[in-house]
């Protein structure tokens, strides 16, 4: 399998799926397409030996799954190896080169985030919604404009952020640091201006991120949540009851903004839709008082760049009203 040739023939390809003994499948414009080439056992051996570090090779033999990332020229790929029905399988995500992507529709919001000196910024959405790309855009803007130290914690490292004005250290979980909470604690001893977390998986990581934000750092993180309005409640209820009041206070004081995004594809066109929550004083009060269900009413007002996903859908251009209605129904 030659990934570069596959991309040359299918420039819109975003994913490659491999199952031992079966034809390759690729995702193009959101749909899976079966190829003629068969995924032979030797292909998996080559992927492992070429792109998976030795410690993760051992983990793959022990647990049946492993993650890695690699570069092919200007192409960056994320690799997930696993077993299914006793057969070797793999999913390869093709990460688009930032310079080749179209302009982000919320460039002003991205620039404002990149200029923040402290606080917690959360980028949320389902798998494949472009969270890593949004994070990379923000980090690239920071690198271009700010002489600061950026520490990222990723599993694995996806986009490689070029060092321009900023000093950037991209640390990989399992290779450079044990886990996310330890990585955050380490980062606070490394004179960081910005700490970026590839994923906030558990309450320990969230608590460490809030501490980092409270001590004067800009913390960027991603979550697998489909609606920005639901993020405060999800974070708070990830903690035991005796800690929730403390977390409410920390979140109300340190959260700056939350975005939740989704990609909508129709034919060869793709739209990035983004819901934005800004932690203005009224929202912070609701979080502190446990009244998160009232947050959407403030988002609908459109203050401080806020919007709901429904408003983002109504603002879409170039789609039929039937498509728009179908999208709106998906929110119900």
pTM of the model: 0.91
The residue among 95, 123, 151 that closes a domain is 95
**CA angle at 274 for the pair 269 and 279, rounded to the nearest 5°:** 170
pLDDT on residue 321: 94
Cα radius of gyration rounded to whole Å, the chain: 21
The CATH code of the domain that includes 137 is: 3.40.50.300
Report residue 126's pLDDT band, with 50, 70 and 90 as the boundaries: very high
- Domain end among 38, 67, 95: 95
180: which 2 tokens? 């996310």
Out of 32, 61, 95, pick the residue that ends a domain: 95
The count of domains in the chain is 2
pLDDT (0 to 100) of residue 102: 83
255, 308: one domain: yes
Enclosing domain of residue 165: 100-329
Q: Which pLDDT tens digit goes with each residue over 273-308? A: 999 999 999 999 999 999 999 999 999 999 999 999
Q: Say if residue 263 is in the same domain as residue 130.
A: yes
pLDDT, mean over the chain: 94
* Whether residues 133 and 218 fall in one domain: yes
As given in the structure block, the two tokens for residue 2 are 């030659």
Domain of 21: which CATH number?
Answer: 3.30.450.90
SS3 265: strand
> Does one domain contain both 189 and 317?
yes
Same domain flag for 40 and 128: no
Domain check: are 34 and 178 in the same one?
no
Whether residues 145 and 59 share a domain: the answer is no
Helices 203-214 and 180-187 sit at what angle, rounded to 10 degrees? 10
d(CA 73, CA 188): 33
- Do 130 and 226 sit in the same domain of this protein? yes
């Amino acid at each position: 399998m030659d990934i570069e040739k596959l991309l040359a023939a299918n420039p819109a390809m975003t994913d490659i799926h491999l199952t031992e003994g079966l034809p390759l499948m690729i995702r193009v414009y959101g749909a899976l397409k079966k190829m003629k080439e068969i995924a032979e056992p030797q292909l998996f051996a080559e992927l492992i030996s070429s792109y998976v570090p030795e410690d993760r090779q051992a983990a793959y033999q022990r647990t049946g799954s492993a993650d890695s990332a690699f570069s092919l020229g200007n192409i960056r790929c994320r690799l997930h190896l696993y077993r299914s029905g006793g057969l070797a399988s793999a999913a390869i995500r093709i990460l688009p080169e930032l310079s080749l992507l179209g302009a982000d529709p919320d460039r002003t919001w991205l620039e404002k985030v990149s200029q923040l000196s402290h606080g917690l910024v959360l980028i949320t959405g389902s798998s494949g919604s472009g969270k890593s790309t949004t994070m990379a855009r923000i980090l690239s803007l920071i690198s271009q404009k700010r002489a600061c130290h950026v520490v990222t914690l990723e599993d694995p490292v996806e986009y490689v952020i070029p060092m321009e004005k900023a000093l950037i250290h991209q640390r990989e979980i399992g290779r450079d640091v044990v886990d996310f909470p330890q990585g955050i604690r380490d980062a606070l001893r490394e004179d960081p201006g910005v700490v970026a977390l590839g994923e906030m998986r558990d309450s320990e990581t969230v608590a460490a991120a809030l501490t980092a934000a409270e001590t004067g750092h800009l913390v960027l993180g991603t979550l697998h949540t489909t609606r920005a309005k639901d993020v405060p409640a999800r974070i708070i209820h990830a903690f035991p009851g005796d800690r929730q009041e403390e977390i409410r206070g920390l979140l109300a004081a340190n959260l700056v903004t939350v975005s939740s995004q989704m990609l909508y594809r129709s034919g060869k066109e793709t739209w990035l839709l983004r819901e934005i929550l800004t932690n203005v004083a009224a929202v912070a009060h609701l979080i502190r008082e446990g009244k998160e269900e009232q947050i959407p009413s403030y988002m609908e007002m459109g203050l401080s760049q806020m919007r709901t996903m429904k408003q983002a859908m109504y603002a879409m251009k170039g789609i039929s009203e039937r498509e728009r209605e179908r999208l709106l129904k998906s929110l119900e």
